[in-house]
A and B are shown apart, each in its own frame.
Chain A
């Protein structure tokens, strides 16, 4: 049964919307693996689209091609992070920082949230959390400290760090690609706010867990703690100093490459793949084994998600949603900033922020009567900050809670997380909206090239 018309009827849009919402519900509820859920949704809309004549089958490749750079960045950075992680560099930096705190619980807390922020900025959330949640467990065990404030601190700091650059998080990459925003644009627009968001993490977690961050009772205790952290040997995990130095140089060059990619006419995916290849070439690691460490399920998830969103976009449904939003916000950019930042944040706290960002991209692109330029930033900040709202809002929170339970036998339930993370989310989102309004009124928000 073929429909000859290329424009979708409201009924057909409704069917596509149902499939998309159903897929998101499956992703959010984790009833089936998110890659499988996205693949099933993509297959259904693909068949529907082709059979009803909304788009020809060949358009499928256009849906994926638009965001192909995202896949390149995921694969390239995965290889790079694997090689650099193997060199012992991340563990080395982490231990150096811990030793610099002298084992003081409050300085340790500050150092750990700062370190998380730094690691997420350059490595994204998952690799950073795998290293730092382990460090929190070992250090708090060694110093006999309550692990909860530290673990919650790093989980929430990770979401703040994810706002920082174009490569800090996958939502940023999708938004940056769609809006034509570069790495430096992100640094200009979001870096100052990221520091503000990090400061808010520090304040909120310290207020909520003040008693769990004790001051040393006497000088003997201070000395004992200092001695305990001095017992960590940062060189112990550096297997080969030559590989260690090379890994540090390649990582540094890759970060610089991200910054200068645009002026050089290159994409972030090229820089990431070049960095990963150079790291692999100079490390002597087993190539096949290293490639097995790439999260191929996430790569396939993106392929399926881009297909799903692309197919739904072809029906005109997302333009209809954009039109509805325009009637709400009128021509007020300020109202648009507030609405998009808050809505994206709340949705990202409930569903994975990647499908939320992927859906918001065509919606923002479909706005006609409002200047969509500033709204990209609202979506970017909302998608990252939303992770702090609930325990399932971000992989950082999920890792923190499960690690606490397994390794420290400490439970952080929904109530406790909502109290800390929910409070933080509200404060951060309000701050983000205010920040964006001020930046927009001053004309400091970079505009994309698309």
Chain B
């Protein structure tokens, strides 16, 4: 029947309307419970050590956790891998496992302090822990004048509302009592979509489509955070950045606060996002695996 085309046209419009109505449905995305009974503070003799310790004390206090300290020795994590030092990060991983460490605070000096390390490495310990740590880690990038002030506000950098992102949001909520921002990294999302497409997982999409898709994915999480914020008299804002994430993070106007980012071992996924955040953020960065 020729009028089947009219019906098909109507059904297509109905499909679009169904999609619109579904978008109006606030999906509930509760934040998971997060806790740590022990916080491990690593020191390596660098000028971040004092900030690491003060920040770790504050974090342990907010979590009601015991503080555990470990000396990595002078030059600690930043020295190149040698036969003598290649066991260091693995010993830390063993300690995390054996002592039920729930969170690690470590010095990860800012790149400009160690230009000889090259553009990709964050240092021996940071590199290995970033890829393998089963627990969240706060990378302290530079000495902090007032660690308490840094923990007064926070930014969640994310791509999608996956379980890692929800855990990251929960950690941010737990550690930072002040105003929060959710920063959706669109440029990285485009990269992510292209990677997925190259693996045959989905059709190519435009940046606008990705923005909408991300908005739909992130909005339930944002809505949950905002609802909780209203109940607790806090403030949560959501922002989408279509620029390169690096350009956003290095801006002088970017707040010196706790930046939280989800991280996974999958190098095609949020791994690069976490690494990029640690590399370019001047403030402390909490990576949540």
Name A's B-contacting residues (CB within 8 A).
30-34, 36, 91, 95, 126, 130-131, 133-135, 137-139, 142, 231-234, 236-237, 297, 398-399, 402-403, 406-407
On chain B, the residues within 8 Å of A138 by CB distance are 18, 21-22, 25
How many residues on chain B are close to A (CB under 8 Å)? 22
Q: 1/0 per residue B11-24: CB within 8 Å of A? A: 10111011011111
Count A/B pairs, Cβ under 8 Å: 71
Closest residue of chain B to A85, judged by CB?
B17
Minimum C-beta distance from A115 to chain B (A): 14
Contact across chains for B18 and A130 when beta carbons are under 8 A apart: no
A-B pairs with beta carbons under 8 Å apart, 5 shown: A36-B2, A91-B20, A126-B10, A134-B18, A233-B25
Minimum C-beta distance from B208 to chain A (A): 14
Whether B28 is near chain A, meaning CB under 8 Å from some CB there, is yes
Closest residue of chain A to B219, judged by CB?
A236
Closest residue of chain A to B8, judged by CB?
A402
Minimum C-beta distance from A76 to chain B (A): 20
A364 to B56, CA, bound (A): 91
Whether B7 is near chain A, meaning CB under 8 Å from some CB there, is yes
Minimum C-beta distance from A6 to chain B (A): 37
A95 to B6, CA, bound (A): 27
Whether B1 is near chain A, meaning CB under 8 Å from some CB there, is yes
Q: Considering the complex, which residues of chain B in the window 1-58 have a beta carbon less than 8 Å from any beta carbon of chain A?
A: 1-3, 5-7, 10-11, 13-15, 17-18, 20-28
Closest residue of chain A to B13, judged by CB?
A130
From known contacts A131-B17, A402-B10, A403-B14, infer whether A33 and B24 are also in contact, taking CB-CB under 8 Å. Answer: no
On chain B, the residues within 8 Å of A34 by CB distance are 3
A30 to B25, CA, bound (A): 38
On chain A, the residues within 8 Å of B2 by CB distance are 30-33, 36
Contact across chains for B21 and A134 when beta carbons are under 8 A apart: yes
Out of B6, B13, B24, which one reaches A233, CB within 8 Å? B24
On chain B, the residues within 8 Å of A237 by CB distance are 20, 23-24
Contact across chains for B17 and A130 when beta carbons are under 8 A apart: yes
Closest residue of chain B to A297, judged by CB?
B6
Additional A-B contacts beyond A30-B2, A137-B14 (11; CB < 8 A): A31-B1, A33-B5, A91-B24, A130-B17, A137-B18, A138-B21, A231-B25, A236-B23, A236-B24, A402-B7, A407-B18
Contact across chains for A134 and B11 when beta carbons are under 8 A apart: no
A133 to B14, CA, bound (A): 7
Out of B1, B14, B24, which one reaches A399, CB within 8 Å? B14
On chain A, the residues within 8 Å of B1 by CB distance are 30-31
From known contacts A30-B1, A237-B20, infer whether A232 and B25 are also in contact, taking CB-CB under 8 Å. Answer: yes
A33 to B20, CA, bound (A): 30
Contact across chains for A130 and B14 when beta carbons are under 8 A apart: yes
A135 to B28, CA, bound (A): 20
A36 to B7, CA, bound (A): 17
From known contacts A32-B2, A33-B3, A403-B11, infer whether A232 and B17 are also in contact, taking CB-CB under 8 Å. Answer: no
Closest residue of chain B to A405, judged by CB?
B11
Q: 1/0 per residue B264-275: CB within 8 Å of A? A: 000000000000
A75 to B27, CA, bound (A): 39
On chain A, the residues within 8 Å of B3 by CB distance are 30, 33-34
Minimum C-beta distance from A282 to chain B (A): 22
Q: Give the most central of B7, B23, B27: most A CB within 10 Å.
A: B7
